[in-house]
């Protein structure tokens, strides 16, 4: 009986400690973080002055990322709403039981994905969770694919500004992939076939058709890009940041604040 009482007492005291910590420390920290994010978003609006203490040279969400391999560099983009950024490119709809969104024909990026089975809050009528967002929007996060030439080669390749055309018509649905096509006008035709299953798995097939007489060497690449820092809860029992296994150190966890503070983090090379 005494053991049960002691166990119940320990549970109650632990609950009081957790609730007290959250009330006096957790909630104020989350409120400060929310205010900082609001100030950052206001500073990103066109014509708005930089937030106090924000370095002018720091890359903010909504600005252009470093160019992908083989791609020309581009200047910084003006911050805009998600809706305006989506409207900046012709699109192919994505419609499945789990995912709604679109593919940008400009750049042939997958940059508009919402998880319609998951909501932002416990309210079933709240907005669906937005996973991917286009470059130029407040929180860019997208998947990009392309080709790189060998060093010294001058091959006209598709980049983030290339407008592809859809071969056929209709939305990307389960069992109905879409094919995007772009011709460089110099004997190379690029074809990208994108499929999706009834859950969340995208399948990408890239092809380059050489219609010229001379051989061409190309290297495919794929990347998932995120600009800036995503919104975080700041809850002490959660890790919010980067994770990975590098070299002999095992699991590495780096918080966003640590990455921002150090700017550059080095890891030992992984053993083969």
At 73-118, the pLDDT tens digits run 444 445 689 999 999 999 999 999 999 999 999 999 999 999 999 9
pLDDT band at 30 (very low <50, low <70, confident <90, very high): low
Tell me the mean pLDDT in the region 136-140.
92
Least confident among 18-22, 205-209, 228-232, 262-266: 18-22
What sections of the chain are H helices per DSSP?
A: 2-21, 27-44, 82-87, 256-262
Distance CA 59, CA 93 (A): 31
**Can you give the pLDDT at residue 180?**
98
pLDDT band at 170 (very low <50, low <70, confident <90, very high): very high
The Cβ-side half-sphere exposure at 182, using a 13 Å CA radius, reads 18
**Can you give the pLDDT at residue 15?**
76
pLDDT band at 64 (very low <50, low <70, confident <90, very high): very low
Q: Please state, rounded to an integer, the average pLDDT across all residues of the chain.
A: 81
Distance CA 221, CA 84 (A): 28
Cα separations in angstroms, 103 against 35, 69, 107: 33, 21, 9
The highest-confidence range among 26-35, 59-68, 242-251, by mean pLDDT, is: 242-251
What is the pTM for the complete model shown?
0.67
Which residues is 110 bridged to in the sheet?
103, 143
pLDDT at 267 over 50: yes
Question: Which of 136, 133, 111, 106 has its CA nearest to residue 46?
Answer: 136
pLDDT at 63 over 50: no
pLDDT at 123 over 60: yes
pLDDT at 8 over 60: yes
């Amino acid at each position: 009986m005494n053991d049960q009482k002691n166990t119940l007492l320990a549970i109650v005291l632990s609950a009081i400690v957790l609730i007290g910590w959250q009330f006096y420390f957790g909630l104020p920290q989350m409120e400060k973080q929310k205010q900082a994010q609001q100030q950052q978003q206001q500073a990103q609006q066109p014509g708005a002055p930089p937030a106090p203490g924000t370095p002018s040279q720091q890359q903010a969400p909504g600005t252009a990322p470093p160019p992908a391999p083989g791609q020309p560099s581009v200047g910084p983009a003006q911050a805009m709403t998600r809706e305006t950024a989506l409207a900046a490119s012709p699109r192919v709809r994505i419609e499945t039981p789990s995912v709604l969104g679109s593919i940008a024909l400009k750049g042939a990026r997958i940059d508009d994905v919402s998880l319609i089975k998951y909501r932002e809050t416990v309210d079933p009528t709240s907005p669906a969770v937005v996973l991917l967002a286009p470059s130029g929007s407040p929180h860019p996060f997208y998947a990009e694919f392309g080709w790189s030439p060998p060093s010294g080669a001058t091959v006209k390749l598709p980049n983030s500004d290339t407008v592809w055309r859809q071969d056929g018509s209709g939305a990307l649905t389960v069992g109905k992939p879409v094919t995007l096509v772009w011709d460089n006008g110099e004997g190379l035709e690029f074809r990208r076939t994108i499929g999706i299953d009834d859950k969340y798995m995208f399948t990408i097939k890239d092809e380059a058709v050489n219609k010229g007489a001379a051989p061409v060497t190309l290297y495919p690449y794929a990347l998932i890009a995120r600009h800036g820092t995503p919104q975080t809860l700041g809850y002490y029992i959660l890790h919010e940041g980067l994770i990975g296994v590098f070299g002999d150190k095992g699991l590495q966890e780096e918080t966003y604040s640590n990455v921002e503070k150090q700017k550059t983090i080095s890891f030992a090379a992984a053993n083969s």
